[in-house]
Chain A
Amino acid sequence: MASEGDRRADLEVDEPRRSRILGSLSGADGRRGVAIALLSTFVFVVVVVAVVANSPGWPAVHEGFFSWHYFKSTLPEIARAFLLNCKIFLISECLILPLALLIAVLRSLPGPVFFPLRALAIAYADFFRGVPTILVIYILALGVPGLEISGVPNSVVFWGIVALVLIYSAYVSEVYRAGIESVHPSQEAAARSLGLTRWQTLRKVILPQAVRRVIPPLLNDFIGLQKDTALVGTVGALEAFNVSQINSDGSFNFTPYLVAAVLFVAITIPLARFTDRLIARDRRRRQAQGGLA
């Protein structure tokens, strides 16, 4: 993938490097732009800090939300709990990616024979995109173990993962479907005309192009999933959010929530930047192709 990106990047001729956030980055104009951006940011931060720090309630809020003492003392425990969030995230994602692809493929099957499968896939996607995630987690994690069927796991983490997989597979299948539909029908005609079967065409020609195009939106859903792992805490799993809550309840101090927030952000911001880079690369690639056509 990287070499492909480089190859395509060669096509951009004389395109000035631009950043969406800072504007032009090169030349005298660029240096002036950066200077102005830094100055205005500095002024903005100083004003906000001055207003907040001088507000009458600041000492109480400072102690209640930003206590360095509580931050230090709860960080190790919440960080350990955060490993459970990462585990839930990784296991769910590994199940979501293939399941969602299967649903998307079922939905794109042509012909009247496959109507039941198509209908099933559509019903699934509609239902699980419509129901609030937290409801599915409640029903599965609290309801299913309540049935007391022998052999059925009663771990809330297990059922939390099942719920997240069900919900997110519905979303991600729609992303895949958009990708599949974006591949021009002439590609299928070309593959079938060479004697490839429908399945070979899908696997070797349609899906590789479709999946490549939807990697940025897929990563976007990853970010949402990483945050939603906190919902599994609501049914008792000892993940970062739940552990922060327990700590906060014990001390009447809200700083543990800040700890959890910092941990989530530490994961999701790099993911978001990575996604942005892929989107930018995709845009450049399309422009390069447009330039050639």
Chain B
Amino acid sequence: MTAAAALEIEGLRKSFGENLVLDGIDLSVGEHEVTCLIGASGSGKSTLLRCINLLEPVDVGRIVVAGEEITRGGVDVNRIRRRIGIVFQAYNLFPHMSVLENVTLAPRLALRQGGRESEEQARALLDRFGLSDKVDAYPDHLSGGQQQRVAIVRALAMQPRLMLLDEVTSALDPELVAEVLEVIRELAAGGMTMVIATHEMGFAREIATRVCFLDEGVILEQGSPEQMFGSPRQPRTQQFLQRIVNAHRL
């Protein structure tokens, strides 16, 4: 393991009761890399992301973030989570708070930022992602695309070193997908280390440093986007991508 790795996963296993969801995941993500996880629903993409953020306890294996093992017992999960942002498929904004309150809540409580500091930072971030006119709006008055962009900003306000995106466009109407992908593109351009579970194959091909194909809880195949989408080696990967092509999604 090199000190430069942003994220290192070794032999990760996780089951829910009898159901083995992750069956020995090994993955290494360097700083500023964008790793896209592809695979059918139920292949373990979401569970893997939730394990990295410690939202799900790991059964076996190690997860090391920037040199620190976060799966070791007695680790301060709140401190770990502050460095790892996660964005969910269903946005999960706090409906009783305005956009500004959504974004400033965690910096104020978890980072002990002052009211003014957190607000200035939030306004700057919202401005950067074209949401400056929605600062005082409530989530249920925003479109899905706007809500998801706010959710990304909310995670960014914690100044994470690593961002996990869990199918962030899957709940969106097709015409709203582009605005969210644009945000992710900008993050990638800014050098953010990201692990992205996605069904947007065209986007994965464009943005990924590396693509991992998950199948039944293991990374069956990984490589550069050119290799993975151009000449996948594993029959299961070929099958999966063929189905995507047939559905006109690539």
Residues of A within 8 A of B (CB): 7, 186-187, 189-197, 200, 204-205, 208-209, 212, 289, 292
Contact = CB atoms under 8 A, between A and B. Distances in A.
A194 B105 contact: yes
Nearest to A199: B109
A207 B130 CA distance: 31
A212 to B, nearest CB: 7
29 contacts: A7-B138, A186-B90, A187-B92, A187-B94, A189-B88, A189-B92, A190-B92, A190-B93, A190-B94, A191-B94, A191-B105, A192-B81, A193-B55, A193-B81, A193-B84, A193-B85, A193-B86, A194-B110, A194-B154, A194-B155, A194-B158, A195-B78, A195-B81, A195-B82, A195-B111, A196-B106, A204-B105, A208-B96, A209-B96
B127 interface: no
Interface in B47-88: 53, 55, 78-79, 81-82, 84-86, 88
Given A187-B94, A191-B106, 4 more contacts: A194-B85, A194-B158, A195-B111, A196-B110
B95 interface: yes
Contacts of A205: 94, 105
B186 interface: no
B140 interface: yes
Contacts of B79: 195
Interface residues of B, number: 27
Contacts of B88: 186, 189-190
A189 B55 contact: yes
Contacts of A204: 105, 109
Nearest to A189: B55
A205 B95 CA distance: 9
A197 B82 CA distance: 11
Contacts of A212: 96
B92 A195 contact: no
A156 to B, nearest CB: 42
Nearest to B141: A7
A5 to B, nearest CB: 13
A195 B106 contact: yes
B109 A193 contact: no
Interface string B16-52: 0000000000000000000000000000000000000
Contacts of A187: 92, 94
Contacts of B110: 194-197, 200
Nearest to A197: B78
**Most chain A Cβ neighbours within 10 Å, of B86, B140, B141, B155:** B140
A200 B109 contact: yes
Nearest to A201: B109
B106 A194 contact: yes
Contacts of A200: 109-110
A276 B88 CA distance: 37
A7 to B, nearest CB: 7
Contacts of A209: 94-96
Nearest to A200: B109
A212 B97 CA distance: 13
Nearest to B93: A190
Contacts of A195: 78-79, 81-82, 106, 110-111, 158
